[in-house]
Amino acid sequence: MRKNWIGIPALMILLLLPALSVARGDDEILTPVAEEQLAEPDPGLDVSGTVTVQDKDNDAGDLLLVSFELPADTEGIFAYNVYRRVAGEEGEGSWNLVEIIPADGLSEFIDGYDPEYPIASGVLYEYRIASATVDGEEFFGPECEAGVVSKGEIYHTGKTKIFIASILFIGLIFYYFGKAQKGIEMYMRPIAGIEAIDEAIGRATEMGKPVLYVPGISSIADVATIASLTILGRVAKKIALYQTPLIVPNRDPIVFTVAEEVVKQAYLEAGRPDAYDPDSVFFVTTSQFAYVAAVNGIMMREKPATNFYLGMFYAESLLLAETGSLSGAIQIAGTDAVTQLPFFITTCDYTLIGEELYAASAYLGREPKQIGALKGQDACKAIIMTFITVALIFGVIDVVANTHILDWFRDLVTSPIVD
Amino acid sequence: MYETIGIWVGAIFTLAIYSFLYKENSIYRLAEHLVVGISAGYGMAITYQITIKPRLVDPLLSGDHWILLIPGILGLLYITRFIPRISWMSRYPIGFYMGTAMGVGFPLTMKARVLRQLEGAMVPLYQSGMAWYEVTGNVVMILGTLAALIYFFFSKPHKGLFFGTGSKIGIWVIMVGFGATFGFTVMGRISLLIGRIQYLLGDWLHVIE
């Protein structure tokens, strides 16, 4: 090994010798190199032609559609470097490299996605394209003024179907919402996991042990987290009435703030603000597995009689639920994370699957507004089922009668939905 | 030298966390508190470096982006939680954040979780050149989707041919799906365990190459 290390400097000295000769002006070495350069001068690369710029539809005035004529001879071109500057600016330093397009036949792109070089609405730009070699050498095409400026649109025409579906679904929810407020009785089928919540809190009270409530590890922007915090309010109210200790560890600082408010409010509504313990809701850390380590430690030290895992969970779901199972607690979980539900199902006593989590707060609160919203959601599901059934029938007709009704129906319902 | 120290620290804390498999103990507790404390402090520094400094402090100091004062002040309102008399002000940024998140998220959810899924469920049962298993797959997918949707009906009792049988098939379809997901995820977890064992036996003890 040591011999190799000695060999490397020796090799470097050998390689440096010709260079030293060149530096000394040794003609014997310089001459053939100079002749070779003269014999084969660098031919350069062909450059792209005119650049055409169009304003992109359905944007906020921050995107331009840029296309350019590809060079006639693309040999040796590795990529096209697209430069942009504000029209009227001078000097080489005013150009910004906004896009590198691999030389595979593509000659257009949407400019404005790079947050470093945003497109300003109403500003006129100039473009130039450079044909670049694999070594990064550039050969510039003509400078072209954009001709158009970017303008924003108020309405995104590609999202009409989303708009219609949203109006329909919101309308249905408000319709049933109104019906429920008028006092019309609405049926809700029993869900075992939700009915077990009272039983689980009662068990903790009887055993004189705390209830652990994990509101997931996602942010407040997640629907599952919001559903979980609503359920936390109901659970905390019952806990306040029973005077059972509550532990709510949080991973997200904003969720922690909201959870604290929710629990405080629940104790107030239960008429026991004095029983509220400010240390019962606390922030742990934002790190996923550090949070898991902390909650697992709490489970094994405090030995809660009941564990709730309601909200959005990721890879930590099994670690939490398995430890809870070892500690001997009754466990109720609920999430809409499809990949984590199997772990909860195998390790928890009750699991709220997907939408059952959203429905739980309506079940626990029995408020007309929430029951109405639940009924509205059912109506939305009925519409989706109707569309799928009609598509199924049209699919059968297509097979039997060799028609194309399904394509027409599919386009009618879902297209165009533009990103 | 630093690399060797890093490997030893990593290995010792890996074993400290694994000691939880035996029972909750003081070594585990030490590792737990260290990882929680370090991650919380590190998270704060990272948030400042990648969010607050480049997106708020630097643009404000450059003097061009005074509009950023609005989110900056909204963010500062969180700190009012430490002053009980005006702690109610912290509800404004929370309300703003929740409202914005729901407003932005609603059309995205409608597109990705409703219309795109609906489009995916409206497939032709048979097309020329399609193999028998593809046709069977399409039929199972469409009927399975319908049955799973029936299971999630809350305002109807799960009785009778449509709702009773439909929801039973639905829960079977859901459970079969979960079984496949379970197996797939467990494979990923096993590879994580293998990675950790390789670290202990290879990088640390040099027992394996």
pLDDT tens for residues B55-107?
999 999 998 789 999 999 999 999 998 999 999 999 999 999 999 999 999 99
Contact call for A395 and B185, based on CB within 8 A: no
State mean pLDDT over A367-378. Answer: 88
Q: Supply the DSSP symbol for A270.
A: T
State mean pLDDT over B141-159. Answer: 94
* Two structure tokens written together for A21: 């000769």
State mean pLDDT over A185-214. Answer: 93
Q: Which chain B residues have a beta carbon less than 8 Å from that of A341?
A: 178, 181
pLDDT of residue A115: 85
Here the ipTM equals 0.90
Give how far B107 is from chain A: nearest CA, Å: 7
pLDDT of residue B1: 84
Give how far B88 is from chain A: nearest CA, Å: 10
State mean pLDDT over A222-245. Answer: 94
Contact call for B94 and A219, based on CB within 8 A: no
pLDDT of residue B128: 86
Tens of pLDDT, residues A145-170:
998 999 999 999 888 999 999 999 99
State mean pLDDT over A360-371. Answer: 84
pLDDT over threshold 50, residue A31 = no
Tens of pLDDT, residues A234-275:
999 999 999 999 999 999 999 999 999 999 999 999 999 999
Question: Are residues A51 and A68 in contact, defined by beta-carbon separation less than 8 angstroms?
Answer: yes
Contact call for A417 and B111, based on CB within 8 A: yes
Give how far A356 is from chain B: nearest CA, Å: 8
Of B157, B178, B189, the CB nearest to A345: B178
Q: Which of A336, A363, A332 is nearest to A190 (CA)?
A: A363
pLDDT of residue B193: 92
pLDDT of residue A9: 52
Q: Which chain A residues have a beta carbon less than 8 Å from that of B119?
A: 410, 413-415, 417
Q: Among A222, A261, A405, which would you mutate to test the B interface (most chain B Cβ atoms within 10 Å of its Cβ)? A: A261
Contact call for A395 and B20, based on CB within 8 A: no
pLDDT of residue A2: 45
Backbone φ and ψ for A111, nearest 5 degrees, come out as -95, 135
Of A166, A219, A409, the CB nearest to B106: A166
Q: Which chain A residues have a beta carbon less than 8 Å from that of B145?
A: 388
Residue of chain B whose alpha carbon sits nearest to that of A221? B101
pLDDT over threshold 60, residue B163 = yes
pLDDT of residue A303: 95
Average pLDDT, chain A: 87
Rg (CA), chain A: 34
State mean pLDDT over B119-143. Answer: 92
Give me the numbers of helices (H) and strands (E) for chain A, helices first please: 12, 14
Tokens 């929740």 sit at which residue? B98
Contact call for A381 and B158, based on CB within 8 A: no
pLDDT of residue A43: 59
pLDDT of residue A24: 45
Q: Cis omega before residue A416 (within 30°)?
A: yes
pLDDT over threshold 70, residue B32 = yes
Ordered by where they begin, the domains of chain A are 51-145 (2.60.40.10), 186-366 (3.40.50)
Contact call for B101 and A296, based on CB within 8 A: no
Contact call for A297 and B29, based on CB within 8 A: yes
Longest pairwise C-alpha distance within chain A = 105
pLDDT over threshold 80, residue A42 = no
Cα A156 from chain centroid (whole Å) = 21
pLDDT over threshold 70, residue B189 = yes
Give how far A403 is from chain B: nearest CA, Å: 11
Q: Which of B158, B167, B168 is nearest to A190 (CA)?
A: B158
| A293 vs A116, more confident | A293
Residue of chain B whose alpha carbon sits nearest to that of A408? B122
Of A161, A186, A294, the CB nearest to B155: A186
Give how far A140 is from chain B: nearest CA, Å: 33
Task: Count Cβ–Cβ pairs < 8 Å, chain A vs chain B.
Answer: 177
Q: Which of A250, A43, A248, A336 is nearest to B152 (CA)?
A: A336
State mean pLDDT over A326-331. Answer: 95
| A10 vs A292, more confident | A292
Q: What helix, strand, coil percent values describe chain B, rounded to 5?
A: 85, 0, 15
CA dihedral A174, A176, A182, A185 (to 10 degrees): -160
pLDDT of residue A105: 79
pLDDT of residue A11: 47
Query: d(Cα B25, Cα B18) in Å, to the nearest integer?
Result: 11
pLDDT over threshold 80, residue A14 = no
Range of lowest pLDDT (A118-127, A278-287, A405-414, B31-40): A405-414
The amino acid sitting at A169 is: F
Residue ranges of domains in chain B: 124-209
State mean pLDDT over A383-394. Answer: 96
* Two structure tokens written together for A266: 């629940």
Question: Are residues A171 and A269 in contact, defined by beta-carbon separation less than 8 angstroms?
Answer: no
State mean pLDDT over B175-179. Answer: 95
pLDDT of residue A26: 42
pLDDT of residue A20: 44
A45 — pLDDT class (breaks 50, 70, 90): confident
Contact call for A221 and B157, based on CB within 8 A: no
CB-count burial class (<10 Å; 0-12, 13-18, 19+) for A251: buried
A19 — pLDDT class (breaks 50, 70, 90): very low
Of A287, A291, A381, the CB nearest to B153: A381
pLDDT of residue A417: 64
State mean pLDDT over A316-337. Answer: 95
A416 — pLDDT class (breaks 50, 70, 90): low
Question: Are residues A335 and A317 in contact, defined by beta-carbon separation less than 8 angstroms?
Answer: yes
Give how far A274 is from chain B: nearest CA, Å: 17
pLDDT of residue A32: 42
Contact call for A285 and B142, based on CB within 8 A: no
Give how far B46 is from chain A: nearest CA, Å: 11
